[in-house]
Amino acid sequence: MKLIFAQGNPGPRYARTRHNTGIATIEAFAAAHDAQWRDMDKFRARITEVLVDSEKVMLVQPLSFYNETGLTARLLIDYYKLDPASDVLVIHDDLALPFGTLRIRGKGSDAGNNGIKSLNTHIGEQYQRLRVGIWNEQRDLMDDADFVLGTFNKEEHDKLTSDIVPKAVELIETFISDTLQTTSHKL
């Protein structure tokens, strides 16, 4: 079984923010597989399951806020007896990467990302990450919180939906088939 874990904040208020890029990606993957989401309070998450080439795949959107998602991951990993290093892919926005950059990493520090800090605290640093770059020049004019909780402009939103999310969905497929490699893509 594989666990695809999207970083983001719950609720419609945050739906189109930069911080919810992970959720936008996992929702596109779920839609491509006609998956139906359900809230599972015992895991503090919205969850759906799909079958991809006979591999059971659990898609997860934590119902906690971005900076507190590690507990949800820990609950699921313990319940399903998963190995984070081989069974878990976390999708999250990355303030340090230019918009349109996708980067795969197999482990690492939080680099100032509080959601990753929470995950590292609860499950360690050994898990696959799909980092989606959100940085643009506007970032230099505001603090981190205002920027990540802001929305994409129309041009960025269009590129996100037409190029970035579809490429990220392809990378999810390679993770499921155990062929995901550490790499970087600029779209």
Determine the pLDDT at residue 138.
86
Q: Look up residue 152 and give its two tokens.
A: 């994409």
DSSP 13: G
Residues 89-118: pLDDT tens digits?
Answer: 999 999 999 999 999 998 878 887 889 999
DSSP 167: H
Determine the pLDDT at residue 1.
96
**19 is known as an active-site residue:** yes
Say how far apart CA 111 and CA 114 lie, in whole Å. 9
Other C-beta atoms closer than 10 Å to the C-beta of 50 total 18
Burial class (CB in 10 A: 0-12, 13-18, 19+), 83: exposed
Q: Is residue 5 pLDDT above 90, yes or no?
A: yes
Burial class (CB in 10 A: 0-12, 13-18, 19+), 109: exposed
If you average pLDDT over residues 66-78, what whole number do you get?
96
Domain ranges for the chain, please list them: 2-186
Q: Give the residue ranges of DSSP H helices in 40-186.
A: 70-80, 84-87, 114-123, 144-148, 154-159, 165-176
Q: What is the mean pLDDT of the chain?
A: 94
Question: Which member of 19, 33, 122, 157 is catalytic?
Answer: 19
Q: Do 58 and 175 form a contact (C-beta atoms < 8 A)?
A: no
If you average pLDDT over residues 160-167, what whole number do you get?
96
Under CATH, what is the fold of the domain 2-186? Answer: Rossmann fold (3.40.50)
Q: Do 3 and 76 form a contact (C-beta atoms < 8 A)?
A: yes
